[in-house]
Chain A
Amino acid sequence: MKIGVFVCHCGENIGKTVDCATVAQRAAKIPGVAYSVDNKYMCSDPGQNVIKNAIREKKLDAVVVASCSPHMHEKTFRKAAADAGINKYLCEIANVREQCSWVHDNIPDATDKALDLVRIAVEKVKRNIPLTAIRVPVTKRALVIGGGISGIQAALDIANSGFEVVLVEKEPSIGGHMSQLSETFPTLDCSQCILTPRMVEVYQHPKIKLLTYSEVEKVEGFIGNFTVTIKKKARSIDEEKCTGCGLCIQKCPIKKKAFNEFEEGLATRPAIYVPFPQAVPNIPVIDRSVCTYYQTGKCQMCLKVCGREAILFEQQDTLVTEEVGSIVIATGYKLYSIDKKPEDSEIKGYGEYGYGKYKDVIDGLQFERIASASGPTNGEILRPSDKTQPKKIVFIQCVGSRDEQKGFSYCSKICCMYTAKHAMLYKHKVHDGEAYVFYMDIRAGGKMYEEFVRRAIEEDGVKYIRGRVSKIYRQNGKYIVKGEDTIAGMPVVIDADMVVLATAMVAQPNASKLAQTIGVPYDKYGFYQEVHPKLRPVEVSTAGVFLAGACQSPKDIPESVAMASAAAAKSLVLFGSDYLEREPTVAVVNEANCAGCFYCLKVCPYNAIEKKEVKNKLGEIIDYIAHVNAGLCQGCGTCNATCPSKSIELIGFNDEQIYAEINAFSESFV
């Protein structure tokens, strides 16, 4: 076998710590190396040509490139090798940058180490065999989880490109948090006015299958070939028969009992309800936890008044399966609650703000409902406790956010803007009112954002005070807000009528459960983890799964929509081919040797190991052995290392290759 070694200087990145010329000279003496050379920029066009020409002229069988991390340029060099006619898996990378020049400063030692790394790679490549990529077919159909603005956008983009979409929403209606908002910054568009046409478009789209009041239970398969099990929760309504006339809702006798989620608890709703008048679909749902019939066996008023016999008290949850090629997760966020948290939670509530006991100390979404024309006060600014108009209102930013002590170190990003909007809306509606905003920094990075905040301050006269509030308590009917103006360097105490807390955006409470179902990494806060923060912001490490909106980190509407379109585009890229090529470096089971202990199944992080039936001649199952689903396997090697009988081999990284590397390394000690 004739091997070529190509040592890259990476400008000065490698060259200034590793003597590349020496490495090339000494590499030439490694048995099997037929050609060896160094170059300033091996990844450049001329550099690649050095490799290609050498392969052709010197009739090389395999190459080792000593350069940066394989993460960076393995693809580049393998392609160059393939262009020159050798199998791309006969090209190995020796990482002499991240693992050598960048972490050392002694030139002779670093040079020795670089040579060691080259020798290791040479010994490995000697044992490499030509491999061909695995081809898998693609189901050109997408699943979108979450029907907020992100999910709606992603679903519409994919569907409008001509591919089918299954849109799953856990609530009875799509629309998400955006449907709760009054007006949106920085243009003060009416949120409902811009959102509801999109919701209707989703509903009427021939390519979108909408499953509301449904949750994803199970995801199997791999990129291009997912099988998803979805639980349709029992609505207690026959969706085919219901016309959405609303008579059942009007006649439900327990009008004022149930907590109204859409109004954030500022209003009540009947047991049978649609979350809000513009709900999509306009089909009610029965909340069995409060419905008199489910609780006592009596009533059935809704059934009596329904002319279509659409009430189905006996309806059960059902499971449906869908085949899809890509998954867009757009599950959104939740607001942090200042209520006292359970003892075992690392997240603490705000005792200094009353642990949620004061009725007129509300959060941002509650204020949205109060300011909304369709909200519980019809848009009049009235405080919840006594429905009077607050003449002095305090807004507090960074409640929970940027508060390490409460468990969240991150900035929620949108609060500066929506607080400015809240204060502005308040001033527009209560002309003689005073509005104060306590802030730490104003983060208004965005088109027309800073201008918007300045307008609140300069034109609407909102008083901005730089400092965090230490305590809120009720005395003589007022909410005493104790703060400090850190610019003036003096204490500020405001006797307010109402306080609005810009509480942190946090991950959905079941975010980690869904992540585990699909196989998506998440950070310590429960936000889903993208592959690369800059260059691959909507992809996750599980191929074929994409992220949109606030499930990845706090985001405003424009960003969520942009990200949703990006996730849609990523799905469309996938749907652009009939087949997918996957790395052949996957695990295979030596079936004759497998004892069926299934330790591999337990340790596999990608659920790629299956139990395969072994049948006798009569077709009876006599045993089970392990089988690797090559579509799911990511080639991590955990099974290989775990297998007690050494019955799993990782192609491209088999034991012989690994031992050869170790032996080559140990030579440097001789």
Chain B
Amino acid sequence: MIVGYYPGCSLTGTGKEYDMSLRKVLSLLDVQVEEINDWCCCGATSAHATNHLLSVALPARNLMLAQKQNLNELLAPCAACYNRLIGSKHEISHNADLKKKVEFVLEEDFNSSTEVINIVQLLQKVGKEKIKSLVKVSLKDIKVACYYGCLLVRPNAVTKFDDAENPTSMEDIISATGALTVEWNYKTECCGGAHSIARKDIVTFLSKNILDDAKLNGAHVIVVACPMCHSNLDMRQRAIKKLYPSHEEIPVLYLSELIGIALGLNGKELGINLHFVDAINLLQMVKAEM
């Protein structure tokens, strides 16, 4: 299986362990990734918050690059990039006027037949059975809170991915590793996203609520599919601890990392050592190596 790959900026920096773990896991699952040549930033929240045309044109350029590489499917592991790519494609195809403007900006005709998919969708395509057959380390002793955040499921009419209020596809994939998943309330609550830098107070507050509810419902680990969610939930636990000294840390892993552990990769290979919240206890619970 060959799939196009749009890592996005975060996976080259703050979320580089996502990129590392994903590439290793996918190769174990016989998925080849073909990176888009000279891709650029999707514009993220900043573009769509301030300049609509720019926010559509930047993803459109990347979609056109994918088109030129004849990629049928394009994996955007970052939920924010996924949302921007699929959202722009949706908007352009539903708005002839906007399409014209985008073509003016790009100086080429826009025509994209590439299907934009997120990591959960890719793993669904790989199949639970395939993952199950390759599991080397059973995760049956850990309880996982699957965190979808905002951008995988919203707006549901555009992403058409899972249920906007109670998604369950990540749980389904994770069941292949033997891990248990918990029912909790903050699956799709926002972590503050792009406010990470400008309004740390907001992100700290939102992240704390998410972490608390996961713990309250018995989770040992939170699994995410977005580098922004990851940095907010993982990195901001320091600030939370400062404000609320009683806060008990809970590790936050990328979906690819959790599956990587089950497939027998060690913590370092998966970049788990790069997290701010130590996951060593978690790895010990399943007798995996750091």
Where the two chains meet, the residues of A that have a C-beta atom closer than 8 Å to any C-beta of B are 340, 350-352, 355, 473-476, 480
Contacts and interface: CB of A to CB of B under 8 A. Distances in A.
B240 interface: no
Given A473-B185, A475-B185, A355 B213 contact: no
5 contacts: A351-B164, A352-B165, A355-B165, A355-B166, A480-B185
* Highest count of chain B CB atoms <10 Å: which of A352, A476, A480: A352
A355 B167 CA distance: 12
B216 interface: yes
B216 A476 contact: yes
A352 B156 CA distance: 14
A357 to B, nearest CB: 9
A351 B185 contact: no
B289 interface: no
SS class of chain A's interface: helix, strand, loop or mixed? mixed
Nearest to A351: B165
Interface of B: 163-166, 185, 213, 216
Contact of A351 (B163, B213, B216): B163
Nearest to B213: A475
Contacts of B216: 475-476
A474 B165 CA distance: 15
A497 B175 CA distance: 33
A625 B79 CA distance: 67
Given A340-B163, A340-B166, A355-B166, 10 more contacts: A350-B165, A351-B163, A351-B165, A351-B166, A352-B165, A473-B185, A475-B185, A475-B213, A475-B216, A476-B216
A352 B216 CA distance: 20
Contacts, number: 17
Contacts of A350: 165
Contacts of B164: 351
Nearest to B216: A475
A594 B185 CA distance: 69
Contacts of B185: 473-475, 480
B121 to A, nearest CB: 17
B267 to A, nearest CB: 32
Contacts of A340: 163, 166
Contacts of B166: 340, 351, 355
Contacts of A474: 185
* Highest count of chain B CB atoms <10 Å: which of A340, A351, A355, A474: A351
A475 B213 CA distance: 8
A260 B165 CA distance: 30
A352 B187 CA distance: 12
A405 to B, nearest CB: 10
Nearest to A352: B165
Q: Which 6 residue pairs across A and B have the least CB separation, nearest first?
A: A351-B165, A473-B185, A351-B166, A352-B165, A351-B163, A355-B166
A576 B178 CA distance: 76
A212 B165 CA distance: 42
Contacts of B163: 340, 351
A619 B166 CA distance: 70
A232 to B, nearest CB: 42
A608 B163 CA distance: 47
A473 B166 CA distance: 12
B77 to A, nearest CB: 26
Nearest to B188: A351
* Highest count of chain B CB atoms <10 Å: which of A350, A352, A475: A475
Nearest to B189: A471
Nearest to B184: A473
Contacts of A355: 165-166
A350 B165 CA distance: 8
Nearest to B185: A473
A352 B213 CA distance: 16
A344 to B, nearest CB: 14
* Highest count of chain A CB atoms <10 Å: which of B164, B166, B216: B166
Nearest to B163: A351
A474 B182 CA distance: 14
A586 to B, nearest CB: 49
A138 B213 CA distance: 70
A473 B217 CA distance: 12
Contacts of A475: 185, 213, 216
A480 B186 CA distance: 12
A473 B185 CA distance: 6
Nearest to A480: B185
A183 B163 CA distance: 39
A355 B163 CA distance: 11
A474 B186 CA distance: 11
Contacts of B165: 350-352, 355
A475 B186 CA distance: 11
A474 B163 CA distance: 19
A480 B213 CA distance: 12
B157 to A, nearest CB: 10
A501 to B, nearest CB: 15
A352 B165 CA distance: 6
A473 B189 CA distance: 12
A387 to B, nearest CB: 23
Nearest to A476: B216
A452 B163 CA distance: 41
A480 B209 CA distance: 13
Contacts of A351: 163-166
B164 to A, nearest CB: 7
Contacts of A352: 165
A475 B217 CA distance: 9
